[in-house]
Amino acid sequence: MNNSNTTVVGQARTSVSNKVLKNTYILLSITLLFSAATAFISYIMNISIINPFITLGLYFLTLYLTVKNKNNSFGLFWVFCLTGLLGFTLGPILNIYINSFSNGTEIVATSMMLTGIIFLSLSAYVNYSKKDFNYIGGFITSGIIIAFLASIALLISAMMGYYFPIMMLGISGLFSLLMCGLILYQTSAIIHGGENNYIMATVTLYISIYNLFTSLLHILGAFMGEE
């Protein structure tokens, strides 16, 4: 009887995990397309770089509202507000790379390709191996906080006229590694039942992809860029 109950519970848990994973990938695909559309709009409009602190304020506001409404239909609305906002702020960044380097289009395309390959490879690995990456959660969280605070410090110093390109490049490399870890962690959490809300799972994976892409863009721009 106990074995039978355990089997039923295990099957139910697997069914829920598969449903969350499916819904997450569907919503993630739609939000990525929507984000790409808003990025294209801001790109063709030739929007200038938006004040980073305004962007951060709007980002945290929409993120807060998404988390607050994660269990109701308004959560989807705020997910699209969040991803649309980040996509819109990406347009000016792409404009800079494409117009500042003779091979800017190649840099952007390579960053997109590498981001896609990394995300699909890591997701496939977790789905195939069923390995539990819950143990790296604390490390990823601590690393993101440290990298974020360091980025703010470098941003403020840059606004004051002091630039540290090597440190900026190092932080981009750190963010790339952390986002890879976050993809592993979040995908594992979905599979093993640690994340049952597809809205929050989508937001986490989207932010991972967004930060991975922008970090790779910075790294490739530094090494591949041709004036």
5-33 pLDDT tens trace: 444 444 556 777 889 999 999 999 999 99
Q: Which residues contact 33 (CB under 8 A, 6 or more apart)?
A: none
Annotated domain spans of the chain: 2-224
pLDDT at 9: 41
Using the predicted structure, report yes or no on whether residue 219 has a pLDDT greater than 80: yes
The span from the CA of 187 to the CA of 190, in Å, is 5
Nearest to 21 by CA among 153, 189, 176, 168: 189
61-80 pLDDT tens trace: 999 999 999 999 899 999 99
The span from the CA of 95 to the CA of 108, in Å, is 10
Using the predicted structure, report yes or no on whether residue 188 has a pLDDT greater than 70: yes
Q: Which amino acid is at 165?
A: P
Nearest to 188 by CA among 172, 171, 173, 208: 208
137-157 pLDDT tens trace: 999 999 999 999 999 998 888
Using the predicted structure, report yes or no on whether residue 222 has a pLDDT greater than 80: yes
Nearest to 178 by CA among 129, 223, 118, 116: 118
- Tokens encoding 180: 């890879």
The span from the CA of 172 to the CA of 125, in Å, is 24
In sequence order, what DSSP letters do the residues of 193-208 get, joined into one string?
TS---HHHHHHHHHHH
pTM of the model: 0.91
pLDDT at 6: 46
Residue 92 has a CB neighbour count (10 Å cut-off) of: 17
Q: Which residues contact 222 (CB under 8 A, 6 or more apart)?
A: 165, 169
Q: Which residues contact 112 (CB under 8 A, 6 or more apart)?
A: 213
